[in-house]
Structure 1
Amino acid sequence: MTYEEAVAYLYEATPVYQHIGGQAYKPGLGNIEALDALYDHPHTSYRCIHVAGTNGKGSTSHTLAAILQSAGYRVGLFTSPHLVDFRERIRVNGQMITQDYVADFVMKARGEVEQIHPSFFELTTMMALCYFRHSEVDVAVIEVGLGGRLDSTNIIRPVLSIITNISLEHTQFLGNTLGQIAAEKAGIIKPLTPVVVGNASGEGVREALEAKAQQQSAPLFLAEEAAPLQEATLMDVGYLYKTRDWGVVRGELTGLAQVENTRTILTALECLRGEFEITPSAVAQGFAGVCRLTGLMGRWQTLSKHPRLVCDTGHNAAGLAQIAEQLRRLRYCYEHTHFVLGMASDKDVAAVLKLLPRWPKYYFTQASTPRSLPAERLAAWAHEEGLEGEVYSSVAEALEAARASASSRDLIFVGGSNFVVADLLESIQ
């Protein structure tokens, strides 16, 4: 079996959330526990850090991995979804899982697929856990796929759990209130295991998290109260952070969300000090080189400068509210703003459109996935909210139109969906 055949088999033989949405979601841990037993519990061979939350999981996971890698540890990193290459999901010290390992794992797993009928994410999770054992990692940073309590990754027994923040998302699975969603994400809290919460605001959120932590006798650390970040200044090349414990640190990631993420990461580092040897130099290197060290893409990422082309994977109301605020702050730094926008059909499109600024010129489009909201429908909805622009059949076509219209002193922003950013990155490779 070749690598290409293996990936095709994964997509064809297992339900893929990235492609079909909620139909691929399999609540419960029965399948992953069956796989875990068959593969002899690979995650018990190394230490794990578990990261859940509505927004910021990816940035937090990648930065922690970069810091631990800079501290001299061999680090596995499991995140989702991927943007361009399936192998982005599974990395060791920043290097993607090998094509040979993917092909070999899938070929040998076909019997389990036919017997257990796992989802794409369940089988991919087990592949990652096994690859980390095969690669003899010291520690693996594991990002939750959806929710927490019933997520496939929740079979691990981490040395630290992290919940970045809570917003309304996936309400058909996680609940209709912030408190209910918080209770689902709190499902990753394990007995006697410290848990860091980045942002506990929202009705019922703190109560749900504290109740679970108390039930599990798990020490709970609230990043907002821990105050490890004293000052954050946004520079042209990233943030400059004045920290309580690690000196002045330059952060490579520049989105407004990174201030909250940094507070969460610094609080997590305090909890990890007893488990790992982490130096100020490792912290500085990890923050300053997270993209190079881990391959992180799509977080307020600048792809060109004249005009400035930026993309971001924020795709729910909370994430796009921060993007909208960042665009407002940058409004007078550029002559004009061009916004290439596409969304997934299962998002709260109405809520997002109310948050977006009215002054950019919009280019409404759709990504090359069945889950995309048709561009015509998005445009009609947007026009009702006062967002003006034209419709384009693909992200590449929308970007071409934006570039043709923009001067060298303009800003082009591309986002609204992971899938839109994925198509963008693929189109400019």
Structure 2
Amino acid sequence: MNYSQTLDYMFNALPMFQRIGAAAFKKDLSNTISLCNHLGNPESKFKSIHVAGTNGKGSTSHSLCSILMEAGYKVGLYTSPHLKSFTERIKINGKDIPEGSVVEFINQNKPFLDELKPSFFEMTVGMAFWFFAQEEVDIAVIEVGMGGRFDSTNVIVPEVSVITNIGFDHVQFLGNTLEAIAGEKAGIIKKNVPVVISQRQSETTDVFEIKAKENYSEIYFAEDTYCIEKIGVTPDLEETVYRVGKGSDTFRLNLDLMGNYQQKNLGGILKTIDVLIAKGYNIHFSDIEMGISQVVKNTGLKGRWQTISDSPKVICDTGHNEEGIKFIIDQINQTKHNQLFMVIGMVSDKDVSKVLSVLPKDAYYYFVQANIPRAMKANDLFNLAIVEGLNGEVMEDVNEAISTAKKKADKDDLIFVGGSTFVVAEINEL
């Protein structure tokens, strides 16, 4: 098979949660374990960092990767979902897995995959582990797909586990209380492996502390070490400036990820680096400075409060649950503009009403529909939005909606595109 045929096989022969939802979800690690055994257990042949959480795990994973790259390490990075190309999911030092390696993996293992019938995600995890082992990375940053306990990535024994925060997302799979969701995320905590919690939350602290104690794991709450304060942006508006307090020391860091919500991630990133340094990793403060300021350049991260055009300004963000959207709305309110236009689409298995209830009533909306089976019909979204007092129109195609909004907007207006990762993925300008 060539690359195009290989992608067709992966997308069509293997159930894919991002596209079809619940039918592709398995509360079981047996397929991943069988695949890893078949591949010679590549997950045991490289060191790793495991990152879970409701919001912020992607940004945290890319930031850790960038710092380690600046420190001179050969770094694997596994994240999901991809925005534009499947190869974005598996990277080494910011470079996507070659298409030829994707073809090689499938061609070598197709008879076994046909027999095992793993999900798309299980297969992708196996491919990432195989590639990282084959390329002999020094360390890989592995982002959890969903939850933690039964996530396919949860066969690794990392150097350190990281849990960014806990919010309401995928409640039909993970539970409908923060405590229950935390219990699933805490499933990545391994025996004698330290764990960093980026954000202390009253509902979840005990869950993490009990799980860490059971596993004889040191637990670190980032805010016990770091006090993070946003103090502005650089003159070119391309970096956010943070004041960081650590004990009696105070220093500044410039972060090229512009979302205000990165303030919640930064302490966890820094504490994780502290843990790695204590384990003997050779990471200097200059590596942290450079790594934090060049996350996008080093890793190719897209869709995090990203400006895709100016005059009028068009910004996109992949935030897609109530907590993520609240942070986005807060930042929109801090961004100078006249009229606000919102191009919004969602997936049908989210708590859409909660998200709609926090969206600004004074914006004009274009309700769109990503080109995946899970997408909520734009008309259905429109009908729910009307109940919440939102005003707008249905325009299913994402790029047509952006183009129409640009024609309607003045140069000082603001257009926001989001509501779903899959809406952002369809932006031509991204």
Q: TM-score range by the shorter chain?
A: over 0.9
Query: What CA distance in whole angstroms lies between the structure 1 residues aligned with 2:84 and 2:241?
Result: 30
Q: Do structure 1's residue 414 and structure 2's residue 417 form an aligned pair?
A: yes
Tell me whether 1:250 sits opposite 2:254 in the alignment: yes
| Residue 320 (str. 1) matches residue 319 (str. 2) | no
Write the letter of the residue equivalent to 1:296: L
In structure 2, C-alpha distance between the alignment counterparts of 1:374 and 1:251, rounded to whole Å: 37
For residue 232 of structure 1, what is the amino acid of its counterpart? K
1:78-97 aligned at under 5 Å gives the runs 78-97=78-97
382-391 vs 415-424, greater mean Cα deviation: 382-391
Q: Is the 8 A contact 2:63 2:291 kept in 1?
A: yes
Give the corresponding residue for 2:190: 190
- Per-residue deviation at 1:230? 4.3
Deviations 1:174-218 (A, max 9, x none): 112111110111000011111001123152x11111110000010
Partner of 2:342: 339
Aligned partner of 2:220 in structure 1 is 221
**Is the counterpart of residue 238 in structure 1 residue 239 in structure 2?**
yes
Map 1:57-72 → 2, pairs under 5 A: 57-72=57-72
Query: Is structure 2 residue 170 aligned with structure 1 residue 170?
Result: yes
Contact 1:246 1:280 in 2 (8 A): no
Kept in 1, the 8 Å contact 2:42–2:130? The answer is yes
Once the two structures are TM-superposed, the CA of residue 282 in structure 1 deviates from its matched residue by 0.9
Paired residues for 1:114-133 under 5 Å: 114-133=114-133
- 1:376, distance to aligned residue in structure 2 (A): 0.8
Matches of 1:181 and 1:277 in 2, distance apart?
A: 35
**One of 270, 294, 300 as aligned partner of 1:295:** 300
2:395 corresponds to which residue?
392
Verify the 8 A CA contact 2:341 2:365 in the aligned structure 1.
yes
Aligned residue-pair number: 423
Does the Cα contact within 8 Å between 2:56 and 2:164 map onto a contact in 1? yes
TM-score by length of 2: 0.96
Displacement after TM superposition at 1:249 (Å) = 1.4
Distance 1:17 1:39 in 2: 23
Aligned residue type for 2:276: L
Is the partner of 1:155 in helix, strand or coil?
A: coil
Match of 1:353 in 2: 356
Q: Where does structure 1 lack aligned partners over 5 or more consecutive residues?
A: none
Q: Which residue of the partner structure matches residue 151 of structure 1?
A: 151
Measured in 1, the distance between the counterparts of 2:186 and 2:429 equals 39
Structure 1 CA distance for aligned equivalents of residues 338 and 322 of structure 2? 27
Deviations 1:277-310 (A, max 9, x none): 1111111111111011001000001111211111
Map 1:20-99 to 2 at 5 A. 20-99=20-99
CA offsets 1:97-139 (integer angstroms, 9 cap, x no match): 0000000101112111122111100010000011011111100
1:246 Cα shift? 8.3
What is the match of residue 259 of structure 1?
A: 263
Residue-by-residue CA offset, 1:376-404 (whole Å, 9 max, x unaligned):
11111111111111110210111111011
Q: Per-residue CA shift, 1:303-343, capped at 9, x if unaligned?
A: 1121111100001111111111111222xx11211111010
Does the CA contact (< 8 Å) of 2:228 and 2:266 recur in 1?
A: no
Mapped contact 2:49–2:158 kept (Cα < 8 A):
yes
Q: Contact (CA 8 Å) 1:54, 1:165: kept in 2 or not?
A: yes
1:212 alignment counterpart: 211
Partner residue in 2 for 1:308: 313
Identity of aligned residues (%): 44
How far apart are the structure 1 equivalents of 2:200 and 2:349? 26
Q: In the TM superposition, what is the alpha-carbon distance from 1:265 to its structure 2 partner? A: 0.7
The aligned counterpart of 2:112 is 112
The worse-fitting range, judged by mean Cα deviation, of 28-37 and 171-180 is 171-180
**TM, length-normalised to structure 1:** 0.96
Letter in 2 for 1:237: E
| Kept after mapping to 2: 8 A contact 1:42/1:133 | yes
1:380 is aligned to 383
Q: Which amino acid aligns with 2:230?
A: A
Q: Which amino acid aligns with 1:252?
A: D
CA contact (8 A) 2:228 2:267 kept: no
Superposed CA offset, 1:193-251 (max 9, x none): 11001123152x1111111000001000011222x244322313221122337832110
